[in-house]
Amino acid sequence: MPHAALALLLVLLVRGLNGRSKAGSLKGTMLTWGVLVCIWGIATFVSSLPFFDPPAGKHPPEVLLRALAQTTLLGVVGGGFLFFPWPLLVRLARLGRPKLVYVLAHLCLLFASSAETRAGACLLAGLALAYRGNATKAERDWLLSRLQTDDRLLGTHATAFALYLALESRAQKDEGNAEASFAWAEQSRLVLGTVTYFSSAAVPAGVRRQAYELLSLFEASRGQWGGIMGSPLESLGPTAHALRDWADEQFSPPPGAGTPPVKRKRPRKPNGVAQFDALFARTRDEAESYSAAEAYAMACGIHRELLRGGPVGPRRAVVMLSIYDVLLHPECPDTMLPEDVRKDEALLESVYDDIADSIAKSLVHHPAPLFMLTQPGIVSARVYQRLESALTNELTSALTALGERHKRGVRTSLHEELLETSRVRGIYRRFEQCFGPQAVAQYLPSLVEGYGNFGVSLSETLPRRRPLAYALFNVLHGEARRFQHADYITLYWKNMNVTSAID
């Protein structure tokens, strides 16, 4: 196949020339992609010449068959990888061959319009490792080293970095280190959340859907269905759509009389429904009442699962606290406290404090809506107090540190700034999930000062990272609209317009 061999040599030559240019150069990448398209067109035309020669009918059948095979290979397969590389490479990633998809992504110049070929190749390699499973430390280190050679923070890079963090979390879980695994997973989830705030110019549509796919899996594994049900439909992929549809059927209130059923984007297969039911369905007993012993056993089971770092949803955590408030009260007729403990006030207070301490340490990272408890009891009031103190100190310290960095003009590495801004937003959201919108509204001025000033630094000082600055301004604009701060709405809408384009 001389034409195919010539095309391959030209591709490698062009890639070599492009590699000599500045990394991430948009103009150089688009020029290289244009040359590749020309090479593809010429090679396809040359391969099809036997069909257009004047003596076409005199060619032997094997010559015509060979020309047909060459034309099909170059025209269909080559054109597919040049013009539709992302969906094809994502399917190839399911084979679990990271180096293969990494090289193919470079050869077909994935995401050439934003010069994110290297980040896209890393994202596909990470997906291949995730599909295959059991990623070794050497493979994870190789993926991180490839990411660190890319100094442009766009949505594809951030998603690939989040996937690397998820792979590290899985490795720690396989080694039996649950605490470290949760820490890596939480970082990955927060970075993916930051990607959802990037502008449409900074994140290709396919990458945004992939970010929502990973986020949906995180939320479903923790029983936090509100995040899935609140995601925009146009940004969801097949898995996230299926999870959202299943959650709507399970947890949404039944439609009233005359209300038409919700139309799904696509019908779901029965076996998929059965798999979701087996993974996530909650048991619904016919009896709506439990004995005191059964309720206490259920609360203790939720408590143990929470201490082990298991997937305890917000509703179950509130149920646990409500049961403890009743059945651990010394004056309750069905109290579970022994008589000698009830008579000793000092011991009783110590028991309550120990229980509240153990619950609060877990709920700091697994927030539950404590503001929904209309009348906090002996246990939930102590948990509320400890959580309020811990999260207030954490949020205040994080915002203060961000403000100090802006005043001193300190800039750090790409990944450190991405993780820090994601962590601050995560603390703010955890505070809101625990204490409600009214409580978190008082911290909006502090968030505006810390987040807003740091966004200005990202936008105006070197190295400029305007896509990340846009994400910060997008968060602040959304909070300003929610709490009806007209001045902030106008200010951050203008800032979003300034930073919406890619660097």
Residue 484 falls in which region: left (phi positive, over 0), alpha (psi -120 to 50) or beta: left
Closest CA to 56 of 44, 68, 43, 42: 68
Average pLDDT over residues 318-324: 94
3-state SS record for 153-191 = CCHHHHHHHHHHHHHHHHHHHHCCCHHHHHHHHHHHHHH
On the CB side of 27, CA atoms within 13 Å amount to 2
Packing angle of the helix pair 137-148, 98-107 (nearest 10 deg)? 20
Task: State the virtual CA torsion across 317, 323, 326, 328 in degrees, nearest 10.
Answer: -90
Of the ranges 60-74, 177-191, 196-210, 450-464, which one carries the lowest mean pLDDT score? 60-74
Of the ranges 225-234, 262-271, 381-390, which one carries the lowest mean pLDDT score? 262-271
Average pLDDT over residues 256-278: 50
Of the ranges 9-18, 253-262, 375-384, which one carries the lowest mean pLDDT score? 9-18
Instruction: Supply the pLDDT for residue 221.
Output: 82
Upstream peptide bond of 85 is cis (omega within 30 degrees of 0): no
Residues of the chain with pLDDT > 70, as a percent, come to 76
> Predicted confidence band at 113 (pLDDT cuts at 50, 70, 90)?
confident
Alpha-carbon span 365 to 381, nearest angstrom: 18
> Predicted confidence band at 302 (pLDDT cuts at 50, 70, 90)?
very high
Domain residues of the chain, as ranges? 292-378, 395-499
Alpha-carbon span 465 to 412, nearest angstrom: 12
Name the token pair of 165: 């963090």
Instruction: Supply the pLDDT for residue 286.
Output: 41
- Given 3-state DSSP classes, what are the helix, strand and coil percentages for the chain, each rounded to the nearest 5? 75, 0, 25
Alpha-carbon span 210 to 226, nearest angstrom: 19
- Per-residue pLDDT tens over the stretch 135-144: 999 999 999 9
Residue count of the chain, please give it.
503
- Per-residue pLDDT tens over the stretch 145-190: 999 998 889 999 999 999 999 999 999 999 999 889 999 999 999 9
- pLDDT above 90 (res 382): yes
pTM of the model: 0.83
Instruction: Supply the pLDDT for residue 23.
Output: 44
Alpha-carbon span 81 to 84, nearest angstrom: 6
* Cα 478–Cα 454–Cα 426 angle in degrees, nearest 5: 55
Contact 100, 92 (CB under 8 A): yes
Between residues 121 and 283, the one the model is more confident about? 121
Task: State the virtual CA torsion across 43, 44, 50, 53 in degrees, nearest 10.
Answer: -90
For residue 440, the SS3 value is helix
